[in-house]
A = this chain, B = another copy of it.
């Protein structure tokens, strides 16, 4: 089943780098490795590298599987602006929900990104960034109230919030909403270290609950990321107490990436009414294996609880790869079911529309 025209809401991505990139910069942005390793050879020799040569080369007028040197030469020749325009147009994505909280260098705003496809951009507010900004001027005592006020202001034009507790303190968050007293004490401890970088379960919990109080869907980084993440603390099962506590509020919780814990995420999406899951970031990194990943997520996860995201950052190719591999993986999964008699072609089409866009529209009230 050809899903190349399927309407897509990319419910979690980042901005695009607009300057030209040399080869080391390009390879360093291709995967979650900080850079290629002299011990291990080129990162083009990996699932994502082969997927890039296959799917992105033709967008730059090259044959599929053009070699990396030819690819990078052509990329430089066209220039970043043209490459970005072509790659984003080829995604076919019309709606982007953009996490604006990761800015190692200047990147596109949600509107600038969406303009490349003629689509629409919405903001997802990074909780920890807002907390740091507030802490710098509020001090500990005023922090809870000041944070709530600032988050409300920021969320007035946003569609969701995002937590990176997984990177900072791990996902073993508690089932109790912390009191303002506890939050103030934690903020005080943090400020005494001379930092405003939140990395404390109490503060992460407070941030999350503040988002929930505003009715904002809360995205969580889960599982796969770069070498800064302690992956064994990024298993979404560690969130069980938090999920039990938040379910009655009816605000969606989005488990992002989730690999290699995607089956655990699927379980949570089944048993908790407010939990959704995706396999963004992993989709493009797994290349030819991403269809297997989509199938594993769709074991326990109800089809109304699965979302599409690219989690692309910076490199235009990642938006295209995340999208094309998702379209192909979901198509192959649904095709397999039709061929096997598991569901009808009509149901398969309906499920594709749900996962591609409708679930996100419903959950984020787009």
A-to-B contact residues, CB < 8 Å:
31-43, 45-47, 50-51, 53-54, 64-65, 224, 226-227, 230-232, 235, 237-238, 240, 244, 250, 252, 259-260, 263-264, 267, 269-274, 276, 285-289, 292-293, 295-296, 298-305, 336-337, 340-344, 347, 351, 354, 359, 362-363
Residues of B with C-beta under 8 A to A250: 38-39
Q: A40-B305, A64-B341, A351-B45 are in contact. Are A33 and B271 (CB under 8 A)?
A: yes
Instruction: Given A45-B351, A50-B343, answer yes or no on A274-B39 (Cβ-Cβ < 8 Å).
Output: yes
Closest to A35 in B: B273
Inside 8 A of A341's CB, which chain B residues have their CB? 54, 64
Q: Determine if B232 and A40 form an interchain contact, defined as CB atoms under 8 angstroms apart.
A: no
Instruction: Determine the chain B residues whose CB is within 8 A of the CB of A37 once the complex forms.
Output: 273-274, 305
| Contact (A288, B40) CB under 8 Å given A231-B267, A272-B227, A300-B47 | no
Min CB–CB distance A286 → chain B (angstroms): 5
Q: Give, as a whole number of angstroms, the nearest-CB distance from A256 to chain B.
A: 16
Write out the residue numbers on chain B whose beta carbons fall within 8 Å of the beta carbon of A263: 259-260
Contact status A273-B232, CB under 8 Å = no
Q: How far is the CB of A164 from chain B (nearest CB, A)?
A: 16
Separation in Å of the A344 CB from the closest CB of chain B? 5
